[in-house]
A and B are shown apart, each in its own frame.
Chain A
């Protein structure tokens, strides 16, 4: 088997000092292959560790324990040409379509700088051609986009330019962190469409980080549900959204506000009214304090990843009769389809 493009190997990330700390990500292993052109969603509430996962993979900070690897080499050891390669091959689209632009420069900058940095074009005309091509691919008209300032464009257009920028570099992997959460609902689909096209036409695998289960369901092939730094459930997105197994996933899915007045919010009251508790003290299942199905064992030992189906793992003792998948092999459930 070839060396994976990106890998989190038994990664734990802790923020804060000795006394007051937060475990943002807890013993996570995730293998992301270059030639596996699928979209994997990482979903969770605030504090679930989803953004931390993305930041670690982009090398914006290092793990407290474990390793983050790019083509088998620890990210923090990369230098020179290797680092350059990493920066080109792994691209990101972030949440805020305002913050990535310098308001004093035309939006062209976002596209022309990478072209210059990575020497993608030999002439101005060629650079222009690349930019126009990338914009057209995300459904924007270059003549209506280039030469404008960020404030002259809508949030949706700006976010699509960010996708165009990622596309320009022909990345091997794309990490998107809440790319549509700050964009109007009516414009979200255009961005998701661009991402999906990037994935299918160019075979770029995407890690789609979000708190929004609806868009995750629509765009991705697989899903990882995180809660306070641990995987609760992972696998095929269709079966998980349509038939969630973990009590936490059930809560999430039943809280989706479907745009249909005849499909009301379901779920149990007592489960959602419970407030949060301090999480560093928890040794067992992290969801146990809010879980209506809590058993004694849930409070003493964190559950393994049980495999009720070939393409799904659930970290919950309700499924303990099923085979256990070692944590390090989490990514194998994504190859089962």
Chain B
């Protein structure tokens, strides 16, 4: 049995707006094992990005982490002081942001941006050591050494995203949270960046949470898959098993909504729209769009249970 590096238990993140509390993450639990890459998928508004920011403890008002536990290497992140948490970011837990162009400082050279975080976290390095570290980081993300002296605008989108990847690994954290790192990139570049992340994962033994909405990219890149909908976790399992035999009707629809080579011209979407998180439906949050819903689904919220080792699902079809 592999060791969990991160355990999230009953996490709730709410945004308080005039009309009430928006339950962006509502009682979510999952475990990430050492060296595993887990995908977290969902449509817009499913709570996946809130989840990412919650793990970094970077939820800003009116958002608030209501309750729950986030245990990283045996330490509950929610119990840490602000300063301790700041030290933990980058050192143990780092994030690759969604839009690299907005994450880099436009007036700072790349070399400085790469080691800025290390210096801030109290790493003492001589000039030579800094240069060596910059060169090493660039090499790790397949960027040429000359990038060190360049500014962000001189780099292509894919190269900028590689710089943010290099930043995230600068202190060799245990866990990396990648929030749609390739959603702004073309297929070829997307694949190159993902392959770089894969290599780094093996080289450094990283555990990764890859957030996104593209099931195709997930099929290609992750070991395990977690599906969120309207703030709730719907299903978690090993990627192959999830694609071969999706248990939750939502997971099935997500997979079927994607075009594959064999079904040219078949357009099957998911009917209906995501519910308002201010007033989520009673019972199962997905019942308003679910083709398999029955009366129990409108009345009771299904429990999120492990129905076989490593496979979790919240659906009355499988638990009632």
**A215 to chain B: which residues have CB within 8 Å?**
259
Specify the chain B residue showing the minimal Cβ separation from A276.
Answer: B156
Specify the chain B residue showing the minimal Cβ separation from A238.
Answer: B264
Residue among A188, A219, A261, A264 with most chain B CB within 10 A: A261
Judge whether B240 and A262 touch: CB under 8 Å: yes
**B261 to chain A: which residues have CB within 8 Å?**
217, 241-242, 258
Chain B min CB distance to A275 (Å): 7
Interface size class of A (residues with CB under 8 A): 35 or more
Option from A185, A193, A241, A273 in Cβ contact (under 8 Å) with B192: A273
Specify the chain A residue showing the minimal Cβ separation from B268.
Answer: A189
Judge whether A260 and B243 touch: CB under 8 Å: yes
Judge whether B142 and A261 touch: CB under 8 Å: no
Q: Does A265 contact B (CB under 8 A)?
A: yes
Q: Does B219 contact A (CB under 8 A)?
A: yes
**A186 to chain B: which residues have CB within 8 Å?**
43, 213, 253-254, 257, 269-270
230-281 of chain A: CB within 8 A of chain B: 238, 241-242, 251-252, 255-265, 272-273, 275-276
Q: Does A51 contact B (CB under 8 A)?
A: no
Judge whether B269 and A193 touch: CB under 8 Å: yes
Judge whether A257 and B217 touch: CB under 8 Å: yes
Chain A min CB distance to B119 (Å): 29
Judge whether A192 and B267 touch: CB under 8 Å: yes
Judge whether A252 and B187 touch: CB under 8 Å: yes
266-315 of chain A: CB within 8 A of chain B: 272-273, 275-276
Q: Does B10 contact A (CB under 8 A)?
A: no
| Complex: A189 Cα to B43 Cα, angstroms | 14
Specify the chain B residue showing the minimal Cβ separation from A262.
Answer: B240
Q: Would A275 and B243 be within 8 Å (CB), given that A185-B257, A218-B265 are in contact?
A: no
Interface size class of B (residues with CB under 8 A): 35 or more
Q: Would A259 and B216 be within 8 Å (CB), given that A154-B274, A190-B269 are in contact?
A: yes
Judge whether B264 and A185 touch: CB under 8 Å: no
Specify the chain A residue showing the minimal Cβ separation from B157.
Answer: A46
Q: Does B44 contact A (CB under 8 A)?
A: yes
Chain A min CB distance to B291 (Å): 14
Of A65-73, A108-116, A206-214, A327-335, the segment with at least 4 beta carbons within 8 Å of chain B is A206-214
Known: A185-B215, A262-B240. 14 other contacts (CB 8 A): A45-B186, A184-B213, A187-B269, A189-B267, A190-B269, A211-B186, A217-B261, A242-B261, A257-B214, A258-B219, A259-B255, A272-B192, A273-B142, A273-B192
Q: Which residues of A contact B (CB under 8 A)?
A: 45-46, 154-157, 184-190, 192-193, 196, 211-215, 217-219, 238, 241-242, 251-252, 255-265, 272-273, 275-276
Q: Which residues of B contact A (CB under 8 A)?
A: 43-44, 142, 144, 156-157, 159, 186-192, 195, 213-221, 239-240, 243, 253-255, 257-261, 264-270, 273-274
